[in-house]
């Protein structure tokens, strides 16, 4: 359930912030698959520490940014099924 929530939160981030989190993901899991602008992320492949760090950073950004300043992300991230 928390991973599904994280997936939703990541999908709400603007491109710049998402790119920063993608760098963190790549540092901690080099097996991420990327084809062009599309990145496949398997949240099950990350340890709890990384997942909590991603969640903390994503929520901190969403909390401080006014709704009018949030932008739609251009990078596509495909999450493996978490259900």
Calpha distance 68→38 (Å, rounded):
26
More confident residue, 33 or 79: 33
The predicted structure's pLDDT at residue 76: 52
Q: For residues 58 and 79, which has the higher predicted lDDT (pLDDT)?
A: 58
pLDDT in tens, 28-40: 876 777 777 778 8
Task: Round to whole Å and give the CA distance between 29 and 25.
Answer: 6
Token look-up 């920063």 returns 20
Q: Lowest mean pLDDT: which of 4-8, 41-45, 58-62, 76-80?
A: 76-80
Give the Cα separation of 20 and 39 in Å (integer): 14
* pTM, entire model: 0.72
């Amino acid at each position: 359930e928390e991973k599904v929530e994280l997936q939703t939160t990541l999908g709400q981030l603007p491109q710049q912030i998402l790119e920063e989190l993608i760098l963190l993901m790549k540092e901690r899991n080099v097996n991420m698959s990327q084809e062009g602008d599309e990145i496949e992320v398997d949240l099950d492949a990350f340890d709890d520490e990384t997942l909590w760090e991603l969640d903390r950073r994503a929520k901190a950004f969403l909390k401080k940014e006014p709704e009018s300043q949030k932008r739609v992300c251009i990078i596509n991230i495909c999450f493996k099924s978490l259900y």
